[in-house]
Structure formats: structure tokens, C-alpha cells
Amino acid sequence: MIFASFEFLFLFLPVFFFLYFLTPARHRNWTILILSWAFYAWWRVDFLGLLVFVTAFSFVTARLIDRLPPGPARNRLLAFGLTVILGVLAYFKYANFGVQTFNDAVTALGLTPTAWSEIILPIGLSFYVLQSVSYLVDVWRGTVPVSRSFVSYAAYKAIFSQLIAGPIVRYAELQEDLKHRVHTLEKFGLGARRFMIGFCMKVLIADTISPMVDAVYALPNPSMADAWAGAVGYTLQLFFDFAGYSAMAIGLAQMCAFRFPENFNNPYLSGNIQEFWQRWHMTLSRFLRDYLYISLGGNRKGSFRTYANLLLTMVIGGLWHGANWTFIFWGFWHGSLLALHRAWRAAGRGPMPYLPGHLLLMLVVILGWVAFRAHDMGNALAMYGAMFTPGSLRVSDELAWQVTPDQWWCLLIATVLVYLPLLGEHLPFLRAPQSMGAFWRYGWAAAPLAGFVLGMILLYSRAAVPFLYFQF
């Protein structure tokens, strides 16, 4: 069940809000927990047990850590807890990749490969494991008080709006809301508006571009125009899909009076790679910074270690997205770019002017997304080869018959929407609502609803498309 589906919109969501607001305030965390577990079980009942195990294990381990004074025993308990939780992630996410890599190596040597049955990756595993890691480390560091209520902690872990694909919310950000939150009609309305905006981003834009991108990456010999169309298309599809999901998750949380952190801040308007990572998937970026980069030593142990830490952090970040050499390459690519940017600034050179810096950034980001989207490195190399092999500026006949005019128009509209915030106060509908005229205020409220209705019509005419980050 995904947010952009009739089952969610007309079955789960009405039942959830009916029961949630019917429940007395002091027991609403129970409603969140039970219905969020039901939401997860809708996909696979058997994997619900894994979510419950990770939740219970991290809760108990944190309580034990909290009881111990600082010292070796406390450190060992943290290491044990992290080993178990990350071990769960490693098994389900990387066992297939490890065995396949091993079998490829032994086959090349003429030996018999190991028999192996593919393991199914539980949906959302990466996200709720990272939340458990952040909670254990924060309790160990003493930066967040340990939860005394299993129901509150389990509800934090299981809130259905962020359970599957984030944002990666830290316990410290919700601990007060879990104890007490004030519901108002204004919060509910603003949350509903945010949800509808995310729905429009997903259904109207990302899902419309998706068939064109899939067609390009399925071509055995794409032309230069094909390859660039697919690369740019995926760059836009991924943003509107994932930023749309984040907006829907934040909106649903706001409807329940929770305050989730923002996850995107116009990343494609950045002027350099460091700024891009301060704006893209911000909850993952800060997790990698606070729990990995800093733990590795950050920039405290000399220039070489700083660059090595940047590279290793991003490679691990790439591998977190999936067990494939394409993600390792993507992480290495971004780690190298961040190291180069840091070296540039360390040499005393100032930032590039915005326009050339932005154009260079978008070029390297698009090139990175090619590997991120590719089925394997062979597919990625074929795309790169096509992108930089001079050829016709027209799409090939093999692609043209598969792409409809609305997909090309959507590609153009998505590009305009990405750059629209640059106009800021020059456009009335981009101003804060209180500074708008009456006409634009009505439009500010009505436009997302109109887009939502149009999205529902499109959703009825085509199958629901899963969010891209569900696979991670």
C-alpha cells in the first residue's frame, strides 16, 4: 500500500483518522502504533516481526546503556547493540550481493558456485534501522533521555507516514510531541495542503516522466539524444518522486500534530556540491555527518584523513542505498567531488560565480544519477558512452514511439518548477500567504486541491507507481 493509491486514500487514511481522533488523547500513541503496524503488515505480515524485533531490541538495549556509567562496559553494550541492528540490515540487504560477487569470482576461476536462494529485502528496513542506530548512539552520548515508555518509542519507530522511506527522524525531535501535542484545525489543514502538494509532485510529474526514463534505460543502443533525455528525465523524476514522498510524510505527520524535519530545500538550485548535500535528503546527510563522518574523525586529523573520511562516508552512503556496484560508484563519485570541493576551498580559492558553479554542479549530479538509476555498471557505461558519443540531436525511432507528448511537456514543466523559486518575491504566488492579495491567497489554498483532484483522475486511469525510495 502506497500513499498514491486508492487503498490508502479511501480505506486506510479515513479509518486511521476516524480511530485516531476518536481515541482519548493519552492513548493516541497506541492508535498510531497498532495502525502503523497494520499498514506495514499490509505488504508482508511475516516481516512485521522483524520491525517489532528491531524496535524491542533497540528499546531494551538503550535502557541498559542508560543504567551503566560511562566506561568500557557501556561502550561494549553500545557496540553489541549496533552490531545486532546493523547485522540485520547487512543480512537482508547485502547477503545476495555478497554471494553473487563470490559466485562470480569462483565461476571465473572455473569452480562450482554456491547454491543460494534470493533473500527478499523488507520494505523500509534501511530507514528504521538508521533510526535505531541514531537513538542508541544519542542515548550513549547522553544527548537524548532514554524513553521509559515502550509504546511511545514503538510509535516513534512505526509512524506510518515515515516508516517506509523517511525522513529519518531522530527521537529527540519527537520526544515532546509523543508525550503531548496540540491538535488544531489549522495544523490539520496545513498538513493536508502539504500532503496534496506532495501527491501532485509524485503523480502529476514523477509518474508521468517515469515511462520515458524506463524506456531509455531499456534501450540496447541509445543515441546521444536518448541518453541525455533519460538522464535529465531521471534527475527530475527522482527529485519529484522522493521530495513528493517527503512532503506527503511531513503533511501526514502535521495532521497528527507532529513536526517532522524538512528533507529537501530546492537542491537543484545549489551552486556547488557541498551546498547540494546540505539541501538534498537532508536527514540522511546529517545522519552521515553526525554518526559516520564525525565518528571517523571528521576534519580533526589532518587533510588526508579528512578527504579519506569524506570519501568513505559517501561510499558507505552509496552502499546504504543498495547492494550494487552502481551505488558504490555513485558514492565514490560524490565523495570525490566533496573532497575536491574541500581541497579547492582549502587552497584559498573562493566560490565560483553562481551560474557557472550551478551548471557544473548539475552536470556532475546528472552524471551521478545515471549510475544510480542503471541496472548494473554495464548499463551505466552504455549510457555514459551514448551521452558523450557525438550523434543526432533527435531521439531515435526506438524511443520516439514509446514517448507520448505529455511526457515531453511534463519534462519541460518539471524543469520550470525546479527553477521557479529563483523568482521569489517577484511572483505573487511565491510570497508568504500573509503578504499575498486575496486572489492569490485563495489560489494558494485551492491550487493544491485542484492538482490533487487531477492526480486522482490520472491515478484512476493508470496503475499506482511505487515510490523510488521504497527499494532502499
- Kindly state the DSSP code that residue 436 receives in the 8-state scheme: S
- 321 given a catalytic annotation: yes
Place of cell 511531513: 250
Instruction: List, in order, residues 6 or more apart from 387 with CB less than 8 Å away.
Output: 224, 227, 228, 231, 370
- How far is the C-alpha of 331 from the C-alpha of 310, rounded, in Å? 10
Closest CA to 418 of 194, 297, 267: 267
Annotated catalytic residue within 321, 334, 341, 358:
321
Specify whether the CB–CB gap between 59 and 153 falls below 8 A.
yes
Instruction: List, in order, residues 6 or more apart from 462 with CB less than 8 Å away.
Output: 207
Specify whether the CB–CB gap between 169 and 206 falls below 8 A.
no
DSSP string, 10-63: IIIHHHHHHHHHHS-GGGHHHHHHHHHHHHHHTT-HHHHHHHHHHHHHHHHHHH
Count of Cβ atoms closer than 10 Å to residue 298 Cβ: 16
Q: For residue 168, which phi and psi values (nearest 5 degrees)?
A: -80, 100
Instruction: State the catalytic residues.
Output: 321
